[in-house]
Amino acid sequence: MREVARVRVIYGDTDQMGIAYYGNYLRWFEVARNEYLRSAGQSYRAFEAREGLFLPVVEANVRYHRPARYDDVLVIGAEIPAAQLRGASARFEYVIHREDGERVASGYTVHACMTREGGRPVRIPPELRATLLAAEQPQGGS
Protein backbone atom coordinates (compact mmCIF):
# COMPACT_ATOMS: atom_id res chain seq x y z
CA MET A 1 0.00 0.00 0.00
CA ARG A 2 1.48 3.32 -0.99
CA GLU A 3 1.33 6.65 0.77
CA VAL A 4 -1.05 9.02 -0.98
CA ALA A 5 -1.70 11.75 1.59
CA ARG A 6 -0.58 13.37 4.81
CA VAL A 7 -2.86 15.34 7.10
CA ARG A 8 -2.28 17.08 10.41
CA VAL A 9 -4.92 16.61 13.10
CA ILE A 10 -6.22 20.10 13.81
CA TYR A 11 -7.82 21.21 17.06
CA GLY A 12 -11.27 21.21 15.44
CA ASP A 13 -10.87 17.48 14.65
CA THR A 14 -10.60 16.57 18.33
CA ASP A 15 -12.71 16.23 21.44
CA GLN A 16 -11.98 17.80 24.86
CA MET A 17 -9.27 15.20 25.51
CA GLY A 18 -7.41 16.13 22.31
CA ILE A 19 -8.33 12.83 20.62
CA ALA A 20 -9.59 12.81 17.03
CA TYR A 21 -13.33 12.35 16.67
CA TYR A 22 -14.10 8.90 15.22
CA GLY A 23 -16.02 10.24 12.20
CA ASN A 24 -12.97 12.14 10.93
CA TYR A 25 -11.33 8.89 9.85
CA LEU A 26 -13.88 8.55 7.04
CA ARG A 27 -13.07 12.11 5.98
CA TRP A 28 -9.37 11.22 5.94
CA PHE A 29 -10.19 8.14 3.88
CA GLU A 30 -11.88 10.50 1.41
CA VAL A 31 -8.78 12.70 1.28
CA ALA A 32 -6.73 9.58 0.49
CA ARG A 33 -9.18 8.38 -2.15
CA ASN A 34 -9.11 11.69 -3.99
CA GLU A 35 -5.32 11.88 -3.83
CA TYR A 36 -5.05 8.24 -4.95
CA LEU A 37 -7.13 9.03 -8.04
CA ARG A 38 -5.19 12.24 -8.67
CA SER A 39 -1.84 10.42 -8.41
CA ALA A 40 -3.17 7.88 -10.92
CA GLY A 41 -3.81 10.73 -13.36
CA GLN A 42 -7.57 10.98 -12.85
CA SER A 43 -9.29 13.62 -10.75
CA TYR A 44 -12.68 12.69 -9.39
CA ARG A 45 -14.13 16.01 -10.55
CA ALA A 46 -12.96 15.39 -14.14
CA PHE A 47 -14.37 11.85 -14.03
CA GLU A 48 -17.80 13.16 -12.96
CA ALA A 49 -17.81 15.86 -15.64
CA ARG A 50 -16.60 13.60 -18.46
CA GLU A 51 -18.65 10.48 -17.68
CA GLY A 52 -21.69 11.92 -15.91
CA LEU A 53 -21.18 9.21 -13.30
CA PHE A 54 -20.66 9.16 -9.54
CA LEU A 55 -18.94 6.78 -7.13
CA PRO A 56 -21.01 7.02 -3.94
CA VAL A 57 -19.95 5.12 -0.84
CA VAL A 58 -22.23 2.13 -0.33
CA GLU A 59 -20.27 0.51 2.51
CA ALA A 60 -17.64 1.78 4.96
CA ASN A 61 -15.54 0.14 7.64
CA VAL A 62 -13.03 1.62 10.07
CA ARG A 63 -10.93 -0.28 12.58
CA TYR A 64 -9.40 1.96 15.24
CA HIS A 65 -6.01 0.73 16.46
CA ARG A 66 -4.68 3.75 18.42
CA PRO A 67 -6.09 7.24 18.89
CA ALA A 68 -4.95 10.07 16.69
CA ARG A 69 -4.31 13.19 18.75
CA TYR A 70 -4.20 16.92 18.20
CA ASP A 71 -1.21 17.96 16.07
CA ASP A 72 -0.32 14.39 14.94
CA VAL A 73 0.77 14.14 11.32
CA LEU A 74 -1.05 11.20 9.79
CA VAL A 75 0.33 9.30 6.82
CA ILE A 76 -2.45 7.68 4.79
CA GLY A 77 -1.96 4.77 2.42
CA ALA A 78 -4.54 3.61 -0.09
CA GLU A 79 -4.96 0.89 -2.67
CA ILE A 80 -7.52 -0.96 -4.74
CA PRO A 81 -6.56 -4.63 -4.89
CA ALA A 82 -7.31 -5.93 -8.42
CA ALA A 83 -9.74 -8.47 -6.98
CA GLN A 84 -11.72 -5.58 -5.46
CA LEU A 85 -12.26 -3.79 -8.77
CA ARG A 86 -15.52 -5.32 -9.93
CA GLY A 87 -17.89 -4.63 -12.79
CA ALA A 88 -19.85 -1.81 -11.17
CA SER A 89 -18.00 -1.30 -7.88
CA ALA A 90 -14.58 -0.77 -6.37
CA ARG A 91 -13.26 -1.27 -2.86
CA PHE A 92 -10.60 1.16 -1.68
CA GLU A 93 -8.52 0.01 1.28
CA TYR A 94 -6.72 2.39 3.66
CA VAL A 95 -4.16 2.42 6.44
CA ILE A 96 -3.43 5.46 8.59
CA HIS A 97 -0.16 5.71 10.54
CA ARG A 98 1.43 8.45 12.57
CA GLU A 99 4.72 9.73 11.17
CA ASP A 100 6.54 7.48 13.67
CA GLY A 101 4.97 4.45 11.96
CA GLU A 102 2.43 3.54 14.65
CA ARG A 103 -0.80 2.30 13.06
CA VAL A 104 -3.76 4.45 13.98
CA ALA A 105 -6.57 3.03 11.84
CA SER A 106 -7.36 0.85 8.86
CA GLY A 107 -10.45 0.22 6.82
CA TYR A 108 -12.16 0.33 3.48
CA THR A 109 -14.92 1.95 1.50
CA VAL A 110 -16.93 0.32 -1.27
CA HIS A 111 -18.17 2.53 -4.11
CA ALA A 112 -20.86 1.77 -6.66
CA CYS A 113 -20.67 3.41 -10.07
CA MET A 114 -23.96 5.26 -10.57
CA THR A 115 -25.55 7.58 -13.12
CA ARG A 116 -26.47 11.12 -12.18
CA GLU A 117 -30.07 9.98 -11.75
CA GLY A 118 -29.14 7.18 -9.35
CA GLY A 119 -31.03 3.95 -9.71
CA ARG A 120 -29.10 0.84 -10.65
CA PRO A 121 -25.30 0.66 -10.67
CA VAL A 122 -23.56 0.77 -14.05
CA ARG A 123 -20.23 -0.69 -15.16
CA ILE A 124 -17.09 1.26 -14.34
CA PRO A 125 -15.96 2.87 -17.61
CA PRO A 126 -12.93 1.19 -19.26
CA GLU A 127 -10.75 4.33 -18.97
CA LEU A 128 -11.27 4.60 -15.20
CA ARG A 129 -10.79 0.84 -14.78
CA ALA A 130 -7.48 1.00 -16.69
CA THR A 131 -6.33 4.00 -14.63
CA LEU A 132 -7.12 2.24 -11.36
CA LEU A 133 -5.40 -0.99 -12.41
CA ALA A 134 -2.32 0.93 -13.62
CA ALA A 135 -2.11 2.76 -10.29
CA GLU A 136 -1.58 -0.57 -8.56
CA GLN A 137 1.36 -1.59 -10.75
CA PRO A 138 4.84 -1.35 -9.21
CA GLN A 139 6.59 1.93 -9.97
CA GLY A 140 9.78 1.96 -12.03
CA GLY A 141 8.74 -0.54 -14.70
CA SER A 142 9.50 -3.75 -12.80
- Would you name the residues annotated as active-site residues? 15
DSSP-based three-state secondary structure for 119:
coil
Nearest Cα neighbor of 105 from 28, 48, 40 is 28
d(CA 117, CA 88): 16
Burial class (CB in 10 A: 0-12, 13-18, 19+), 96: buried
